Amino acid sequence: MTIKVHHRLLLTGAAGGLGTALRERLKANCDVLRLSDRGKLGTAGPAEEVSVADLADAQAIYQTVQGCDAIVHMGGMSQEGPFEPILQGNIVGVYNLYEAARQHGVKRVIFASSNHVTGFYRQDEVITPAHPARPTGLYGVSKAFGEDLSRMYFDRYGIETACLRIGSSYAEPTDRRMLATWLSFDDLHRLITACLTTPVLGHTIVYGVSNNAVSWWDNSTVRHVGFVPQDSSDGFREDLYARTQAPDLNDPTVQFQGGVWVMAGIPMTAHLGGK
């Protein structure tokens, strides 16, 4: 059962992949769901409000946040790429969001961080949210910035934040790496619900991952959030093994938890001896 503890909830990035998956689900968490994106959101449905806004536009974000009780921040750049779009969407944008939250008195934010904050740990390691950041690229760096910024806004202004280091959230896992990183859409909603309703959230970093037998991330230190995943990638394992090749253990995308993202953007060269 989902308990409504907020009247108006803001969902940023509502036109994106995860925003679309959450649009109907999050209506159970509030009386009014305000949807925000710079892209097309369609017509507002029952119990919905629509606010078209670019995260890099401080005034537009100020107006979008006004009147909201909590924020589920899924907006921004979601891929590795050139720095300028990442800067505007994930660095300037997250600052604008937190500053608007401070000015309007919003006291809880659910921030979509990423497992790519720690993507350069190896796949034969199990890490916790307390491990130092090792970003796969500029995208991971921008999410690490968001985690640090949200920490400062908690310490200075009391805005509680859950930083969700989301693994691979899709309808089902599509490759062998996702046997460890998969987060179902329903478990994503369960995680957000837990973070919205736990009595004391503080500043918490938690990995967003379903109940997969293979896992690189240990969430045992954040049990105060109350997230209990119900889904698992295990039922997809046999099919994935049958239709994919065995991994090449010399391949950096197999060695590191970040997978193909360690080669995205400007390719890494450490595996070539610096050449």
Where are the chain's structural domains? 6-272
Residues 27 and 210: their CA atoms lie apart, in Å, by 22
Helices and strands (DSSP H and E) totals, the chain:
9, 7
Strand order in the sheet with 70-73: 48-52, 30-37, 6-12, 70-73, 108-114, 160-166, 203-208
pLDDT of residue 272: 62
pLDDT of residue 212: 98
pLDDT of residue 275: 39
pLDDT of residue 3: 85
Query: 6-272: what CATH class?
Result: alpha beta
Sign of torsion, CA 239 184 261 35? positive
Provide the strand spans (E) within 147-233.
160-166, 203-208
pLDDT of residue 39: 86
Residues carrying an active site annotation: 139
pLDDT in tens, the chain (275 residues): 688 999 999 999 999 999 999 999 999 999 999 999 998 899 999 999 999 999 999 999 999 999 999 999 999 999 999 999 999 999 999 999 999 999 999 999 999 999 999 999 999 999 999 999 999 999 999 999 999 999 999 999 999 999 999 999 999 999 999 999 999 999 999 999 999 999 999 999 999 999 999 999 999 999 999 999 999 999 999 999 999 999 999 999 999 999 998 888 776 676 665 43
Q: What string of H, E and C letters represents the secondary structure of 22-77? A: HHHHHHHHEEEEEEEECCCCCCCCCCEEEEECCCCCHHHHHHHHCCCCEEEECCCC
Report how far apart the first and last C-alpha atoms of the chain are (Å, whole number): 55
pLDDT of residue 265: 74
Residue 176 has phi, psi (to 5 degrees) of: -65, -35
The pairing of beta strand 70-73 with beta strand 48-52: unpaired
pLDDT of residue 274: 45
